[in-house]
Amino acid sequence: MDEGSSLMAEAITPRSQDFSQWYTDVVQRAGLADYTPVRGCMVIKPYGYALWENIQKALDQRFKATGHENAYFPLFIPHSFIEKEAGHVEGFSPQLAIVTHGGGEKLDEPLVVRPTSEAIIGHLYSKWIKSYRDLPVLINQWCNVVRWEMRTRLFLRTMEFLWQEGHTAHATYEEAEEEARRMLSIYADFAEKEAAIPVIQGRKSESEKFPGAFMTYTIEAMMGDRKALQSATSHNLGQNFAKAFDIQYLDQSNQLQHCWTTSWGLSTRVVGAIVMAHGDDQGLILPPRLAPIQVVIVPIHKNEDEKAQVMAVVEQIKVLLGEAIRFRVDDREGYTAGWKFNEWELRGVPLRIEIGPKDVAKEQVVLARRDVPGKEGKRFIPQAELAREVPKLLEMIQQELFERAQKFREEHTHEPKSYEEFKSAVEDGFALAFWCGDAACEKAIQEETKATNRCVPLDQSNAKSSSGKCIRCGKPANEKAIFARAY
RNA sequence: CGGAGAGUAGCGCAGAGGCUAGCGCGCUUGGUUUGGGACCAAGAGGUCGCCGGUUCAAAUCCGGCCUCUCCGACCA
């Protein structure tokens, strides 16, 4: 076949050549999502949805383990509710989708399609909470939300997206703060253990925080193009929403008190994070713990005789892998083995088992690691060892993906000593630098470098020793912040 | 929402006023194949993004709209 034509028709844009295009290609070609006729709204295809379901499982389990329950609140919110909290309405009004008609008639009061549910949930909490004995309330919901967006990208920013939003109410500031921090650490744990993405836990600046929040916490991750992606957030809402929605309780001394509330969310955006944190020129690389298919078995045979032999061994392998491993046998006819290899690599399956006549004869299989391309990632192992080796190898891949991402982030995180160094640092990745806390300084940095303040890391062990001067204005500073170009 | 580009078969593209709109890949059927994107043969598949206008004649020219991509401003 002459070069090119058939190969080129299959190829995705190389990551190094055009990261954005690579991302868009991979998401579609791997079967995660597709466009729809509605601007900014995507369809999450079965493979992408299976990935999301695994994300849900991993998170939901953590939420339940920390005492939270799931519930469901309505999609429509009376417009007036959104307006009750000043910061909230200001922040969200440009992004609202508003229903003005229903049943063929103009509505007396327009309904907002929820951009988030603080307002409606606040209203209900005020009904449900009367006494300190009712607290804390720890509820989560899995749902869709709508935010009108100017510029959209698959998973990263769509007008409608799926997420979970936790909403809790507490008796004291300290409890709410503890809750917000606990959920942040749960997100961090999820990101690192399940998605194999190292994250920085931090506090958002005044200008970056959630509309209506007292304090916003974030986990920030570095993508393969060295840009930052906020992967989840957790808010200590103080008493802002409690006051706006009259969420009050009688304390033990019969005094009426406002609650302290929190909210926290993680969206389908993390699917994009997984794509961009781990993928390569061949396509997706999924972390084994979240991969819809952890192991793909590719039988190889030339004739019916061989097929019978190979498939008999495949049956044995299926038993060896057992219930715990998510595997698929790719026994499709009419595709060559090589074609299948490429296909499953594009789709990011962490581990491949190749089994052909030669392996049957030697009672072995070929194990190929997705994260280690080519021959280097292949090894022969005796069939008898599969039950032991496969889980071990999946665990190893999980760990090494994390370590690779962490090393990458470290290599592209700098601690500039001057503003000049700072400028080149944010060209390369993250800059960790003293910042005076002034919003004007933050804004100037953004205008001058295109880098935004991602967060003030909770872990300031880096900052303790040095005396602090703001990287831009030189005024005294007692904290370091992460600056980076961001999604 | 501003700037730039794109939309012709499932995908990638050619056609730039004139006969029945092509090519590659993919798809279907049959056969040979399968250890890194196989091959042969025969087929199927199109209101040229949508609406309107100009013209004897529009995929092609003009206007409006829709969607996508990239770059900005805003955001999970």
Give residue-wise pLDDT tens across range A197-236.
999 999 999 989 999 999 999 999 999 999 999 999 999 9
CA A1 / C1′ B22 distance in Å = 22
CATH number at A295-392: 3.40.50.800
Distance measured from the CA of protein residue A109 to the C1' of nucleotide B66, in angstroms: 30
Average pLDDT over residues A402-431: 95
Q: For residues A309 and A220, what is the distance between their CA atoms, to the nearest angstrom?
A: 51
| pLDDT for position A10 | 58
Strand B contact nucleotides, protein CB < 7 Å: 1-2, 10-12, 24-26, 28, 32-39, 66-76
What pLDDT does residue A465 have?
A: 57
All residues at 6 or more sequence positions from A169 whose CB lies less than 8 Å from its CB, including other chains? A125, A129, A135, A136, A137, A242, A247, A259, A260, A261
Predicted confidence (pLDDT) per residue in A70-91, tens digit = 999 999 999 999 999 988 898 8
pLDDT for the residue A225: 93
Q: How far is CA A212 from CA A85, A86, A131, A193, A232, in A?
A: 7, 7, 25, 31, 17
| All residues at 6 or more sequence positions from A348 whose CB lies less than 8 Å from its CB, including other chains | A30, A278, A279, A283, A284, A285, A286, A291, A370
3-state secondary structure A143-172: EEEECCCCCCECCCECCEEEEEEEEEEECC
Q: What pLDDT shows up at residue A3?
A: 29
A9 pLDDT tier (thresholds 50, 70, 90): very low
For residue A211, whether the previous peptide bond is cis, meaning omega lies within 30 degrees of 0, is: no
pLDDT tens, residue by residue, A162-197: 999 999 999 999 999 999 999 999 999 999 999 999
- So what's the pLDDT on residue A452? 93
Q: Which nucleotide is nearest to A359 (CA to C1')?
A: B35
On the question of pLDDT at A352 being above 90, the answer is yes
Burial of A106 (0-12, 13-18, 19+ CB in 10 A): exposed
Q: State, as a whole number of angstroms, the distance between the CA of A398 and the C1' of B73.
A: 39
Does the predicted interface ipTM exceed a cut of 0.85? Answer: yes
CA-to-C1' span, A335 to B41 (A): 19
Distance (Å) from CA A149 to C1' B63?
28
Dihedral sign for Cα atoms in the order A298, A381, A322, A315:
positive
**Residues sharing a CB contact under 8 Å with residue A279, sequence separation 6 or more, in sequence order:** A15, A22, A23, A26, A224, A285, A348
Could you identify the residue whose CA is nearest to the C1' atom of nucleotide B75? A149
Closest nucleotide (C1' vs CA) to A265 is B76
Residue A191 CA to B10 C1' — how many Å? 36
Q: What are phi and psi of A8, to 5 degrees?
A: -65, -35
CA distance A326 to A49: 15
Q: Using one digit for the tens of pLDDT, what is the confidence trace for A117-137?
A: 999 999 999 999 999 999 999
Instruction: Using the C1' atom of nucleotide B12, identify the protein residue whose alpha carbon is closest.
Output: A9
- Segment A36-49, tens digit of pLDDT: 888 899 999 999 99
Do the strands A295-299 and A327-329 form a parallel or antiparallel pair, or are they unpaired? parallel
Q: Which nucleotide is closest, CA of A161 to its C1'?
A: B76
Mean pLDDT calculated for residue range A392-404: 98
pLDDT digits (tens, 9 = 90+) for A262-287: 999 999 999 999 999 999 999 999 99
CA of A184 to C1' of B60 (A): 58
Residue nearest to nucleotide B11 (CA to C1'): A9
Interatomic distance A9 CA / B69 C1' (Å): 19
Topology of the domain covering A19-278: BirA Bifunctional Protein; domain 2 (3.30.930)
Residue A427: pLDDT over 60: yes
pLDDT band of A103, cuts 50, 70, 90? confident
The nucleotide whose C1' lies nearest the CA of A335 is B34
Domain map (residue ranges) of chain A: 19-278, 295-392, 413-484
Estimate the share of chain A in helix, then strand, then coil, as percent rounded to the nearest 5.
40, 30, 35
Segment A421-426 mean pLDDT: 93
pLDDT of residue A468: 85
Tens digit of each residue's pLDDT (9 = 90 or more) over A364-388: 999 999 999 989 999 999 999 999 9
Is CATH 3.30.110.30 correct for A413-484? yes
pLDDT at A11: 67
pLDDT for position A14: 85
Q: Report the pLDDT averaged over residues A304-324.
A: 94
Strands (E) located in A312-408? 327-329, 351-355, 364-369, 378-382
